[in-house]
Amino acid sequence: MINKYSAILLVVAVSLNSCKKDRVIQVPIPTDPPVEMIYRDLHEKEIKYAQPATIIDLDEDNTSDIIFFVWLVGDPVMQQDKRQFRVSSGINTNLAVNTAEQVPALLKDDNIPLSNFNGYSWYKVSSVILVQRIEDVNGNISWDGTWQGVTKKYLPFQLLKNNQRFNGWLELSVDIANEKLVLHRLAISRHAEKVIKAG
């Protein structure tokens, strides 16, 4: 009788021990420290038709890195006048441009990588239409472009210095009602070759 109960107790003890969960030890996952950024307020600078171009010197070394302007184009075939709100980059600045010659309007916290991304390739000396106002011969007005009606989105760029890339972004809005771009602020990585987040 004792042997029978001993066997049962042994089976129960083994069962209970095998059901016992191991204690889980949480190990923190190492994360990279946030990238240190340099911010500049652009004081709600407005880009309008029939005004001089706005030149931005990203690193304040007396070079033209990014230029915003409005270009008037007459199209005699379509019988239209187009006011093209453009952004151009200099020889030391890359813009991310896709095959349709568009630049992305990034959201806050979108990654700005060092390499090409989502169909966009980094090019220097680019000139891209953000949005355009189209007026036909009858005075009808329409708007076209991927930045149409955008409020506080982020234009990614790369500044090239000493064969290194410094990622950055420029926050801007497109005000269709008042026919203007508004430049809010920009930021650029303090250190080269760093992936950053927009905003």
- Residues 76-86: pLDDT tens digits? 998 999 999 99
Q: In the predicted model, what is the mean pLDDT of residues 28-56?
A: 89
Buried b (16+ CB within 10 A) or exposed e, 58-94: beeeeebbbbbbbeeeeeeeeebebbbbbbbbbebbb
Confidence of residue 18 (pLDDT cuts 50, 70, 90): low
Q: In the predicted model, what is the mean pLDDT of residues 91-102?
A: 97
Instruction: Please give the pLDDT value at position 34.
Output: 79
Q: Distance between CA atoms of 101 and 85, rounded to whole angstroms? A: 14
Q: Distance between CA atoms of 87 and 187, rounded to whole angstroms? A: 17
Q: Distance between CA atoms of 127 and 51, rounded to whole angstroms? A: 18
Query: Regarding predicted confidence, which is higher, 61 or 20?
Result: 61
According to DSSP, residue 7 is labeled H
**Is the pLDDT score of 30 beyond 60?**
no
* Distance from the Cα of residue 43 to its chain's centroid: 20
Instruction: Please give the pLDDT value at position 10.
Output: 47
**Is the pLDDT score of 174 beyond 90?**
yes
Q: Let me know: does 121 contact 170? Beta carbons within 8 Å.
A: no
Secondary structure (3-state) at 5: helix
Share of the chain above pLDDT 70, in %: 84
If we measure between CA atoms, which residue out of 176, 88, 76 comes closest to residue 132? 176
- Residues 97-124: pLDDT tens digits? 999 999 999 999 999 999 999 999 999 9
Query: Where do the domains of the chain lie?
Result: 34-197
Per the prediction, the chain carries an average pLDDT of: 90
Q: Let me know: does 167 contact 112? Beta carbons within 8 Å.
A: yes
Q: 157 vs 24, 62, 122, 137, 150, CA distance in Å?
A: 44, 18, 8, 37, 18
